[in-house]
A and B are shown apart, each in its own frame.
Chain A
Amino acid sequence: DIQMTQSPSSLSASVGDRVTITCRASQSISSYLNWYQQKPGKAPKLLIYAASSLQSGVPSRFSGSGSGTDFTLTISSLQPEDFATYYCQQSYSTSQFGGGTKVEIK
């Protein structure tokens, strides 16, 4: 099994801040890394697929980068609707999710 480690597990930020979340795989997964946003009581929403491709309809303030074992999700200017939990997911070999990063209001 490939293990996915996200950091930090939580962070506090203000509207307008630049936010970066990292995800590390226990072995190389090429670029088969996806990012999701989940708000309380809602299903997850796909934000980024294949490490850096923006899913249709997702605001351009979200971006992803990385390959191999290290990946990053960046929110360039945090908006009120972005306070949520974010998960990475590897899809190189079956699938696993990271533990999640909760983005809270400072």
Chain B
Amino acid sequence: EVQLVQSGAEVKKPGESLRISCKGSGYSFTSYWISWVRQMPGKGLEWMGRIDPSDSYTNYSPSFQGHVTISADKSISTAYLQWSSLKASDTAMYYCARHRGIAAAGTYYGMDVWGQGTTVTVSS
């Protein structure tokens, strides 16, 4: 079964660092780009950025560039989203999702496999 399994819920204080993970299984991890998507409480979906796990090349939304870092370790089929200094406004659900097609061309055709989401709560 093709799936993405995300790490568990996190509760952090402002200023702390955090890395959440997304492990792929059931498919060739390096063949499909992975995106991260934020959903703040009661709000819509926001695309944050994506990574090509084969070489760790990344694209970021201007809204998130410089605020988060997306990385991947292809040896363990895992993508990461990390913050160096959390803010209360980072409180949200974060999803990873696999792009539908192979390699860069696949990024044109939507995201067909989603993780279950990781809730991040930042509060003093």
Contacts and interface: CB of A to CB of B under 8 A. Distances in A.
Task: State yes or no: do A and B come from one complex.
Answer: yes
A97 B111 CA distance: 12
A1 B62 contact: yes
B35 A95 contact: yes
A38 B44 CA distance: 10
Task: Specify which of A94, A95, A96, A99 lies most central, judged by the most chain B CB atoms within 10 Å of its CB.
Answer: A95
A95 B109 contact: no
A32 interface: yes
Among B44, B112, B114, chain A packs the most CB atoms within 10 A around the CB of: B44
A53 to B, nearest CB: 8
A67 B112 CA distance: 21
Interface residues of A, number: 26
A55 B112 contact: yes
B112 to A, nearest CB: 5
Contacts of A36: 45, 110
A94 B110 CA distance: 11
Interface in B92-116: 95, 97, 100, 107-112, 114-116
A50 interface: yes
B50 interface: yes
B47 A94 contact: yes
A6 B46 CA distance: 14
B22 to A, nearest CB: 12
B117 interface: yes
Given A43-B117, A46-B100, A87-B45, A34 B95 contact: no
B59 interface: yes
Interface of B: 35, 37, 44-47, 50, 59, 61-62, 95, 97, 100, 107-112, 114-117
Given A44-B97, A49-B110, 5 more contacts: A34-B110, A46-B110, A48-B110, A53-B109, A95-B35
